[in-house]
Amino acid sequence: VRRNRGETEFHQAVQEVLESIGPALDKHPEYAEHKIVERICEPERMVTFRVPWEDDRGEVHVNRGFRVEFNSALGPYKGGLRFHPSVYQGIVKFLGFEQIFKNALTGLPIGGGKGGADFDPKGRSDREIMRFCQSFMTELHRHIGEHTDVPAGDIGVGGREIGYLFGQYKRITNRYETGVLTGKHLSFGGAEVRTEATGYGCAYFVREMLAARGESFEGKQVVVSGSGNVATYGMEKVHQLGGTVVACSDSTGYVYDENGIDVGLVKQIKEVERERISAYADRRPGSKFVERGAVWEVPCQVAMPSATQNELTAEDAATLIANGCMAVGEGANMPATPEAIQVFREAGVAFGPGKAANAGGVATSALEMQQNASRETWSFERTERRLEAIMKDLHDRCYATAEEYGVPGDYVAGANIAGFTSVADTTLRLGLI
Ligand code: NDP
């Protein structure tokens, strides 16, 4: 705690993992002997850098950029970049730490990393976004590479930003190294399904949790928070799987639509017009916008928090349960507070933690890396079949690990133990690294 003073979110993420892995530490005394926990909790490397840029009026701004290269036991560091004013070292480290185990769970050869900047993209013109991305990459390029560290998107970083980042990387390195970033447009090395992957994957994970209880999405009402990349494609897949999403949100409030959220309209508003979600209610008869309301007050049987960390409290969890919620899949990273998770656990709600439920995004990024390395392009159908199979395997691995370690049905413990032991065993094989 002393060494990572003030990094609240990082402490929260570490605590959640440490609380679950007791049975693994008991079974493997060699982990303690070789100080595996201490080694995994310390990033291999972390860079912090200045990002100066000029706005459209010629005013100069200075932001702070970060990249944490947390763990490369299983492969090159891999994890997204977040542009949001709340970004600081504690957020980047919590995300990087989670990423280690998430990536291990996919079974693909990727280590854990994360990065970003305390830059607020809201209200910025396209040219300003481009200049910011170029300045950010002017420093970041020294630290990344297809065999070293491969960033992707996260909050505030989508296809447009990845394009500007790749353009600058290419320009200053003189290398058309497509494998250095994932989430690229199809025209310069991107992969089919990457845009959809995190949301689709989360819906597949929830489908598996429901199936394990003899249930399905058919006829279920679903509430999703956020209306960004993860939320949008989570909603799309839920509808394809037979559920009905009745509410989604952004940081201004939520929209309720009893006929089912029109995902095409959400895409138009958020992806094309870059508008607020309230615009949905203006255009869709029968729907309503609730300003600053908590989306969790809308009755549902399945909840998929897909906006940001700590957005679902113990009180929200109690409301969801009182309204009949039976399954929760975390599309975002750490959206439920520890107290909320405890409430779900005590009520017997199936709870899929982010590091398992949202791993479809990074898994598909690893497929994008595979395609870049072999200069191949896979079809949408082939890639989606791989994603579906990966999410099913991932669910089954968490489920089986929880059983093996005596906590059946506890996906938090299953995910943490399965992810941790993969990294720990490999670390032992690699010596004192
Ligand atoms: P986007 O930027 O596309 O969307 C984020 C959404 O969450 C927006 O609707 C945004 O609303 C809302 N949001 C963000 N911050 C807050 C806040 N402080 N309070 C309320 N709402 C907020 O990001 P993504 O969809 O990519 O990411 C969402 C979550 O999923 C994050 O936790 C991310 O780490 C996680 N994730 C993303 C992956 C990916 O592939 N993109 C992969 C795995 C996890 P507003 O526009 O009003 O800010």
Tens digits of residue pLDDT in 102-160: 999 999 999 999 999 999 999 999 999 999 999 999 999 999 999 999 999 999 999 99
CA of 319 to the centre of ligand 1 (A): 23
Domain count, the chain: 2
Does position 1 have pLDDT exceeding 90, yes or no?
no
Please report whether residue 165 resides in a domain. Answer: yes
- In this structure, the answer to whether residues 172 and 41 fall within a common structural domain is yes
- In this structure, the answer to whether residues 205 and 92 fall within a common structural domain is no
Please report whether residue 81 resides in a domain. Answer: yes
Q: For the chain, percent helix, then strand, then coil, each to nearest 5?
A: 50, 15, 35
| Cβ pair 148, 79 in contact under 8 A | no
- In this structure, the answer to whether residues 207 and 292 fall within a common structural domain is yes
Q: Which domain-ending residue is among 357, 374, 392? A: 357
Q: How many angstroms separate the Cα of 181 from the Cα of each of 15, 168, 169, 364, 417?
A: 30, 12, 10, 12, 29
Please report whether residue 114 resides in a domain. Answer: yes
- In this structure, the answer to whether residues 156 and 254 fall within a common structural domain is no
Indicate which residues carry an active-site annotation. 114
Does residue 358 have its Cβ closer than 6 Å to ligand 1?
Answer: yes
Token representation of residue 100: 């280690």
Does position 212 have pLDDT exceeding 80, yes or no?
yes
- Give the model confidence (pLDDT) of 32-87 as tens digits: 999 999 999 999 999 999 999 999 999 999 999 999 999 999 999 999 999 999 99
Q: Choose one of 251, 364, 387 to mutate for the ligand 1 pocket test, by most ligand atoms within 8 angstroms of C-beta.
A: 251
Residue 2 confidence class, pLDDT cut points 50, 70, 90:
confident
Atom of ligand 1 nearest to the CA of 334: 32
Does residue 227 have its Cβ closer than 6 Å to ligand 1?
Answer: yes
Mean per-residue pLDDT for 171-195? 98
Please report whether residue 184 resides in a domain. Answer: no
Please report whether residue 422 resides in a domain. Answer: no
Does residue 229 have its Cβ closer than 6 Å to ligand 1?
Answer: yes
Q: What is the CATH classification number for the domain harbouring 53?
A: 3.40.50.10860
- In this structure, the answer to whether residues 207 and 136 fall within a common structural domain is no
Q: How far apart are the first and last CA of the chain?
A: 22
- In this structure, the answer to whether residues 61 and 140 fall within a common structural domain is yes
333 in helix, strand or coil?
coil
Residue nearest to atom 5 of ligand 1 (CA): 228
- In this structure, the answer to whether residues 158 and 204 fall within a common structural domain is no
Among 21, 226, 9, CA closest to 98:
9
The predicted pLDDT at position 406 comes to 94
- In this structure, the answer to whether residues 330 and 243 fall within a common structural domain is yes
Q: What is the CATH classification number for the domain harbouring 315?
A: 3.40.50.720
Please report whether residue 423 resides in a domain. Answer: no
- In this structure, the answer to whether residues 211 and 313 fall within a common structural domain is yes
Mean per-residue pLDDT for 246-258? 98
In the β-sheet with 149-152, what is the strand arrangement from edge to edge? 45-54, 60-71, 112-117, 77-83, 149-152
Interface ipTM: 0.98
Q: Which domain-ending residue is among 357, 381, 402? A: 357
Mean per-residue pLDDT for 380-401? 98
- In this structure, the answer to whether residues 102 and 140 fall within a common structural domain is yes
Domain hosting 166: range is 8-177
Please report whether residue 329 resides in a domain. Answer: yes
Please report whether residue 24 resides in a domain. Answer: yes
- Give the model confidence (pLDDT) of 328-377 as tens digits: 999 999 999 999 999 999 999 999 999 999 999 999 999 999 999 999 99
